[in-house]
Amino acid sequence: MDSPADELLAIRCQLGERAAFDALITRWHPPLWRYLRRLANDDDTAHDLAQETWLRVLRAIAKLREPARLRPWLFGIARRTAMDRLRAQYTQPPMSDVNPEDIAAELPDANLEEEFATLEVSVGSLPIVEREVLALFYLRELSLEEISVLVEVPIGTVKSRLFRARQLLRRDLKTTGVYQ
Amino acid sequence: MSIQNDSLLSIRKLACGELSVKARLGYVALLLASAAMTVVIVSLWFTEPSLPPRTHWAFGAMSAIGTSWATLAVWALTTRRVLFARDKVIAGYMAVTFTLAFVIGALAAVLISQRAAAFMALTTGVLMLGVAVRVLGSARRRFAALSARRAELARMTA
> What is the ipTM metric for this complex?
0.84
- Average pLDDT of every residue of chain A: 78
pLDDT at B8: 85
| CB-CB under 8 Å, A18 with B19 | yes
pLDDT at A77: 93
Does residue A177 come out as left (phi exceeding 0), alpha (psi in the -120 to 50 range) or beta?
left
Average pLDDT per 10 consecutive residues for chain B, totaling 158 residues: 78 87 92 94 87 91 96 94 94 96 94 90 95 97 96 90
| Residues A136-163, mean pLDDT to the nearest whole number | 78
pLDDT at A176: 66
Question: Residues of A at the B interface (Cβ-Cβ below 8 Å)?
Answer: 4-5, 7-8, 11-18, 21-22, 25-26, 29-30, 33-34, 37, 43, 46-47, 50-51, 54-55, 58-60, 62-63, 67
- A155 with A148: CB under 8 angstroms? yes
pLDDT at A107: 46
Q: Please, what's the largest Cα pairwise distance for chain B?
A: 73
Low-confidence winner among A15-29, A37-51, A137-151, B120-134 (lowest mean pLDDT): A137-151
CA distance B108 to B125: 12
pLDDT at A106: 45
For residue B84, list chain A residues with Cβ-Cβ distance below 8 A.
13-16, 62
pTM of this structure: 0.71
Mutate to test the interface with A, among B150, B152, B156 (most CBs of A within 10 A): B150
pLDDT at A21: 94
CA angle B106, B76, A85 (to 5 degrees): 170
pLDDT of A72-116, one tens digit each?
Answer: 899 999 988 988 876 655 555 555 555 555 544 444 444 544 554
Q: How far is A157 from chain B (nearest CA, A)?
A: 32
- A179 with A129: CB under 8 angstroms? no
Residue of A nearest to B79 (CA): A59
User: Of all residues in chain B, what percent carry a pLDDT higher than 90?
Assistant: 71
| Residues A112-129, mean pLDDT to the nearest whole number | 64
Is pLDDT of A5 > 60? yes
B146 touches chain A (CB under 8 A): yes
| CB-CB under 8 Å, B10 with A62 | no
Is pLDDT of A63 > 70? yes
CA distance A135 to A40: 12
Q: How far is B11 from chain A (nearest CA, A)?
A: 6
| CB-CB under 8 Å, B11 with A7 | no
| Residues A13-39, mean pLDDT to the nearest whole number | 92
